Structure 1
């Protein structure tokens, strides 16, 4: 979501909320700044508590933010949803990078590189989906609900990972 929102947010704010390009750019910059500044906080949280559990909480909050985007018609609710996703994207990024060396002890550098690459590439698909869904339906609401559904998939993945970790620890 970090790359995706950085790409699509300025134009979306101009087109959907009739903001000036400067205002939209500043708002997108705030989104990116928050997500960037909170990455280390995610790492700190991952160092202090179970990163998988923290990611589950992060994804739940991100899902709420995506649902807010999906139901918002005004700039206030949309802004709250964006800021929620921004915070979760930053914290979640730090948590993911905490987990990679845990699961890939001997290949942490390569694994982190692949995770970074996939995150960067994955950021280009949501704007395409948002544009496509909006062109089909006339609204972007459904596209943001799809973002919430991807959050649900991520949550389920973390839930299964946590379950796997507990069963391995019990052995």
Structure 2
């Protein structure tokens, strides 16, 4: 019985040393968070001919707080970090009408990002991830503003003239991740 206890202590001690050695070697620890500070639901109400003809733009409507931290053991910034990127995509293949079977193309919505006073875009919304903005730093703690436009494109497929009146909905997803 004494041998079994001694053997058990050896196994526990070996496992403990293995865990400690793995921690000392250094593990990549990536933390990313997006907080919506304002503007989580965007509604485009085309209630006049001017809005139908020219579209609607909401400048700096959504404010996102971006937090990204790429570290190694001990909380030290990762020296081999490739940086971060913010992407967006629609979760549906089109903008769906709620009362009819009508749809609008995702490209009807344009997205512009503003970081530190510099505008990036406009970008057409799509069903695949679209890179909006990126940076080389291992750490980021900053706010960005998101502007949205709908029906502002001169392409007749993407403006609102002759579109079926309805309540159209699409969900979009912002992702903050390593490059």
What TM-score, normalized to structure 2? 0.25
Q: Which has the higher helix share?
A: 1
Q: Which has the higher strand share?
A: 2
What TM-score, normalized to structure 1? 0.25
